[in-house]
Each structure stands twice: as C-alpha cells, then as structure tokens.
Amino acid sequence: MASILVLNGPNLNLLGTRQPEVYGFVTLEMVEDACANHAAKLGLKVECLQSNHEGALIDTIHDAKGRHQGIILNAGAYTHTSIALMDALISVEIPAVEVHLSNIYAREAFRHSSYISKAALGQICGFGAQGYLLALDALAAHLKDAGAA
Ligand code: CA2
C-alpha cells in the first residue's frame, strides 16, 4: 500500500484555535484524521507530521525517501522564504502536492510567491481543510498513472 507523508509547517499546530476567519475552525488533529480516513478510501495510508522548525521539516523530507511515495506539504510561511525546503523536495524526487488553507493569491503580496511550487506537481489553495483531501485525490491519480499504486 502506497504511503503519503502529510507534512505541516510552522504555526499550523494552532489551527482551529486562532484566526478562524482566515483558517477555519478545524483543528490540525481533525485534518489529520480526515486525511487518514480519506486515504483509506483511496487505498493509501498516511503519516502526518507537523513542525515549527525548518531543519526538522527538511530532515523529515529526507527521511521520506524509500518510506513514502507521495508528500502533501503545507509549509506555512516557509512557503514564501525557504529555498532549503524547495531543494529538499527536489532532492528526494517524491511527487509532492502543495496545500494552503487560504487563497494565498487573495492575500498580501508577500504570500503570492511560493518556492514550494517550483518543486511540486501542483498547488491547491483556498479550500480550507478540504484542500488536503483534494491533494490526496491528486496524488492517488498521479501514483496510479505512474503505476506506483
Ligand atoms: O493558508 C495556508 O495554509 C498558509 O500556508 C498558512 C500560513 C501562511 O503563512 C501562508 O501564507 C498560508 C500560516 C499558518 C498559520 O497557521 C495558523 C493557524 C491558526 C491560527 C494561527 C496561525
């Protein structure tokens, strides 16, 4: 069974507790449970991790090689700053889908660019927690096309 790493970056541990007008009322635990349930329906399994530390996110991406066949990444604010995270994703050559809860293009200009998108199959943003499930659908289809799931 193919395994998908669902990786969340800085401050996303606070999901559902602050700024609900931007990020909604769903907690990270609820997002992770929904991912596990949706993955099971697609014949996939997930491992979910969150870190507030750039280096820990990079180590987790490195460790994914040989363990996971896909990555769903919401890198939080590192999306807009981290060449190191982009390089890590490129180096492991694991298909990745970038997710954002909010529509980053409808927000401040500094959120309009993403280093992650240069290393990802595609990006889903603006659909709240549903975006993670759409990303699972996209990865399931991609892995099937590639003969990997
Ligand atoms: O929309 C997204 O998912 C973001 O990746 C969220 C990041 C932001 O910096 C990106 O531009 C877009 C911020 C994550 C902060 O998460 C919080 C959640 C609840 C309460 C406070 C912060």
Rounded to whole angstroms, the Cα distance separating 63 from 110 reads 30
Cα torsion for 75, 3, 40, 103, to the nearest 10°? Answer: 20
37 CA distance to ligand 1 middle (Å) = 23
* 82 C-beta closer than 6 A to ligand 1: no
| Residue at 22: amino acid letter | V
- Which numbered atom of ligand 1 lies nearest the CA of 131? 3
Sign of CA dihedral 19, 118, 62, 44: positive
The residue type of 85 is: L
pLDDT truncated to tens, each residue of the chain (149 aa)? 999 999 999 999 999 998 889 898 999 999 999 999 999 999 999 999 999 999 999 999 999 999 999 999 999 999 999 999 999 999 999 999 999 999 999 999 999 999 999 999 999 999 999 999 999 999 999 999 988 77
Determine if the pTM surpasses 0.75. Answer: yes
Residue 105: active-site member:
no
Which domains can be identified in the chain, with CATH numbers? Answer: 3-146 (3.40.50.9100)
What backbone torsions phi and psi does residue 50 show, to the nearest 5 degrees? -135, 140
24-35 confidence digits (pLDDT tens): 899 999 999 999
